[in-house]
Structure 1
Amino acid sequence: EKGLDAVVAAFLRECNHYVQREVSGQGSLASFRNPSQVCCMRIRDAVRRGKETFVQQLGHFVTIFCFFQKTKQI
């Protein structure tokens, strides 16, 4: 979705389908001042309600974040 920074967009793509459906099912992020922050909150809430543990999702996020940090340095 437009307005998401690259790290949050990549993190959402790495989430399982349940989390993705939960996040997108809450409507557009376009009207928010900080869509990335709202998306992160929706992901967190979906994970808490859902099938995957927060620790698993956090591991995915850290991996993606580190990758993007390395690519910025190149």
Structure 2
Amino acid sequence: MDEVRTELAAKTLAKVFAVAEFGVTESAITIINTMPVTGAIIAKHSYSIELSVMHNNGTWKSHQLAVDVKSGNVTLIY
């Protein structure tokens, strides 16, 4: 059950980050893929999340985020 809550928290952090980073509404963001990071010391709390974002000019772009749920850090990969 903790894994489900941790993944949900990662998705929430990713959406909040994307809203702030790209200046779009939450409805303009679609989560395509969520994968736990394996082989890292912080693996229990880290996820790679791929998003599709409709930017304000009407174009869809894919972005990948690294999310560390434990620290609350989100990093834009591309």
TM value normalised by structure 1: 0.28
> Higher relative CO (CA 8 A, sep ≥ 6), structure 1 or 2?
1
Higher strand proportion (structure 1 or 2): 2
Higher helix proportion (structure 1 or 2): 1
TM value normalised by structure 2: 0.27
